[in-house]
Structure 1
Amino acid sequence: MSTAPQLRAAALREALATRVVVADGAMGTMLQAQDPTLEDFQQLEGCNEILNVTRPDIVRSVHQEYFAAGVDCVETNTFGANHAALGEYDIPERIFELSRAGARIARESADEFTAGDGRQRWVLGSIGPGTKLPTLGHTDFATLRDGFQANAEGLIAGGADLLIVETTQDLLQTKASVLGARRALQATGLDLPLVCSLAFETTGTMLLGSEIGAALTVLEPLGIDMIGLNCSTGPAEMTEHLRYLARHSRIPLLCMPNAGLPVLTKDGAHFPLGPDGLADAQENFVRDYGLSLVGGCCGTTPEHLRKVVERVRALTPPERTPHPEPGAASLYQTVPFRQDTS
């Protein structure tokens, strides 16, 4: 077992415990902006993970832009490197290969910037939700879990410092992701942070109707290192969920919102929240809810993250005093274990 990954992971844990760590922003839109060809996609149009093998220069340039903006860590271009998503392109056997390639590109970029000024940079291994919802019977749990394990093993082999199960929409899919990642860590003998980021719709629940309390009750006992929110909405719609987590979560918090709710224009979706707006929101979230990890999702750019870095770098997250509520959860809601003495 190499000591370098463990040392980097230990340094990342220390940073998350003592200051605000800043991650990057959107990946897909920045890749598409470089206009990759159908040949670059190996005729699998839209499969961004293929670019890790065919056009690593494009993927590397995105990481470099974010590091140049001052972020501490970047996410790998592996959001769709899972059984469900790659299965739709008929290449599920390439999960490990594309995950490892994506992590390696990010690792090289991080190491290059670290060597330049001595400040440690990290790689967050992105584990996306895929396109199948096991709760609705789209696929079986074991198939999903094993695909996520291959995804995580590739990320670890490529040099990821943390695994982030993100944009989760179905709590059963989330559990498959977390357990697959946990199996990968056990298989490789590494102890990397494993964090989970949920996607809540404008309805106030996850896609299948799960409330924030249900998600916390289900996921916290799985031993994840951090919980939070990303994607689906802008920061304004995340406030109440973060307030709940700050009040009840025993583990640290993260938040990576979109640049507001998308507005449909004749040129496609436009995200209205500018860099200052995102920076204002993240500064307030750190002060109010004690976030340890912040970043951006859809519609956020290096300029957004540059502003966030400027605003939160000097902040120390306030101490939270959570009040955990033991309970049991269905798919939809949590029921606290409160004794009714009447």
Structure 2
Amino acid sequence: MKPIPYTRGQQLPQLLEQHILVLDGAMGTMIQRFKLTEADYRGERLKDHPRDLKNNGDLLVLTRPDVIRDIHEGYLAAGADMIETNTFGANSLAQDDYGLGHLAREMNVAAARIARQAADKFSTPDKPRFVAGALGPTPRTASISPDVNDPGARNVDFEQLRAAYKEQVEGLVEGGADLLLVETIFDTLNAKAALFAIEEVFDATGERLPLVISGTVTDASGRVLSGQTVTAFWYSVRHARPLAVGLNCALGAALMRPYIQELAKAAPDTFISCYPNAGLPNPMSETGFDETPEVTSRLLREFAAEGLVNIVGGCCGTTPEHIGAIREAVSPLAARSTQKQFFYKEAA
């Protein structure tokens, strides 16, 4: 058996035993504050592209990197220990909708480098900052038919997902990510393709980064969209030996509590992450959601006080104000203890 090579992320298990670490908040919420135009998204490079590009937020790492850098630095200044790369939809399957699938790898390299520069700027010896390479679920699902009249129909297969994720992981690693975050998992089969691709890259490079896996419970059924309970989801992905497993998006903190409790009970041997959105839709709110920074931070403090979590942050609708409030709320509290950690065992 060979020891796993040292990476910056190797500090994370020890830090997670000692402290609750704070992840950043929403990227889309912050991009909206800049009121960007079609021309901003296109830049000079894509000014003659035949398709509309507005709202393709992942593209901004190439055409308006200053915007993405500013957002990262805002979250770091608010106290985030980890920032996610702006790559939630930076895979060829999602970017093909804009005619930009050929730029997917370049987007991931650029996004990781922007985040790396911001994290390094704010890192200190006693407070290192980390870059999480974000891999979203893609706009397609391997388990569910897109045609209500044909349950057997599929618009993507495992191999297409694996290839798209592999390209994305290669770009994130090249750009300097410290860990990988497979997030907002609504279809466990999609996630398995991502995990397979990640292992391929690790085997090829000889470098193994920490891995965080985060599913999303879509409603009060307590299941991911493809039908699994939180416990079943964990048992489907635990073979990947993640540094942490958790839940994000879809629900605000108020509705997420029972599912985080279930996950913490099902996975006593790994760290737990939780980054809820800012509550229920509320058109009267600045963020479009009803959980203010004060409400979200109070609820996550309760999660921490119950010994449920090791990583907390924000998803849709959250801002640096949320992250600052969360940081202040959880800092005095101890992190959830675990029986062991999967990640830094020797490679089999």
Q: Is TM (by shorter chain) over 0.5? A: yes
Provide the secondary structure at the position in 1 that maps to 2:6: helix
Write out per-residue CA displacement over residues 176-216 of structure 1, whole angstroms, 9 at most, x where no aligned residue. Answer: 11221222222222121111101111232112222112201
Structure 1 unaligned spans of 5+: 323-342
Aligned to 1:300: 318
Contact 1:246 1:320 in 2 (8 A): no
Match 2:213 to one of 177, 180, 196: 196
Q: Indicate if the aligned counterparts of 1:165 and 1:174 stay in contact, CA closer than 8 A.
A: yes
Q: CA deviation at 1:275?
A: 1.0
2-structure distance, mates of 1:257, 1:118: 27
Of the candidates 277, 280, 284, which is equivalent to residue 261 of structure 1? 280
The answer to whether residue 39 in structure 2 is matched with residue 20 in structure 1 is: no
Unpaired runs of 5+ residues, structure 2, are 43-51, 145-153, 341-348
- Asked if 1:207 corresponds to 2:215, the answer is no
- How far does the alpha carbon of each residue in 1:245-295 deviate from its partner, in whole angstroms, 9 at most, with x for none? 111212211000001111245x99721111111111111112224311110
Partners of 1:183 and 1:39 lie apart in 2 by: 38
Separation in 1, partners of 2:199, 2:31 = 30
Give the AA of the match of 2:298.
D
CA distance in 2, matches of 1:101, 1:320: 35
User: For 1:123, which of 126, 131, 134 is the aligned residue?
Assistant: 131
> AA paired with 1:200?
V
State how 1:1-342 maps to structure 2 within 5 Å.
6-42=6-42, 43-114=52-123, 119-136=127-144, 137-203=154-220, 204-249=222-267, 250-264=269-283, 270-320=288-338
TM-score by length of 2: 0.86
Percent identical among aligned pairs is 37
Contact 2:252 2:276 in 1 (8 A): yes
Asked if structure 2 preserves the Cα contact closer than 8 Å seen for 1:257 and 1:296, the reply is yes
Counterpart amino acid of 2:140?
A: K
The answer to whether the Cα contact below 8 Å between 1:83 and 1:144 also exists between their aligned partners in 2 is no
Matched with 2:147 is: none
Higher RCO structure (Cα 8 Å, ≥6 apart)? 2
Pair 34,6 (structure 1): closer, same or farther in 2 beyond 3 Å: farther
1:90-115 CA distances to partner (integer Å, 9 max, x unpaired)? 22221110011011000000111126
Cα distance in structure 2, aligned partners of 1:320 and 1:222: 17
Q: How much does 1:118 deviate?
A: 5.8
Distance 1:321 1:191, change over 3 A: closer
Output the CA distance in 2 between the equivalents of 1:236 and 1:311: 16
> In structure 2, how many angstroms separate the alpha carbons of the residues matched to 1:49 and 1:66?
18
Q: Give me the whole-angstrom Cα distance separating, in 2, the residues matched to 1:293 and 1:58.
A: 26
When structure 1 is superposed on structure 2, of 35-44 and 168-177 the one drifting more is 35-44
* TM-score under structure 1 length normalisation: 0.87
Aligned residues: 316
Q: Structure 1's 53 and 6: CA in aligned 2 closer, same or farther, altered over 3 A?
A: farther
